[in-house]
Amino acid sequence: MDNDQHFISERMPNFNNHEEAREWFKEQFDNKFLFRSINEDEGKKTFFYHIVKNPEVYNQYMRNFASPFEHEITNMKTFESYTTVEINEDGEVNFTI
């Protein structure tokens, strides 16, 4: 499937919960759909995932991010290498670049 968030939004069904949404994204993007973290606010969980668009750039960014050494991001290519998908417990989906 195309990684463009407008393209995805047009084709994605309505979800009843996080599990339904997660499974749909996993079916669409396989190993390019990666879990990143969970945030809880006012008792409601939001799950954060990345859809990887450019694995080479993304993997380098993740290695640098995990490194104890200081690193600097010098261009937007890093942030263009993935899209963040936020999925709430109730199945609501939001995208960020």
- pLDDT 10s digits, 7-51: 788 899 999 999 999 999 999 999 999 999 999 999 999 999 999
Distances (CA, A) of 72 to 82, 84, 96: 18, 21, 21
This prediction's pTM = 0.85
Q: Nearest-CA neighbor of 47 among 58, 31, 62, 34? A: 34
Q: Residue 52 in contact with residue 34, Cβ under 8 Å? A: yes
pLDDT at 3 over 90: no
**How far from chain centre, in Å, is Cα 88?**
13
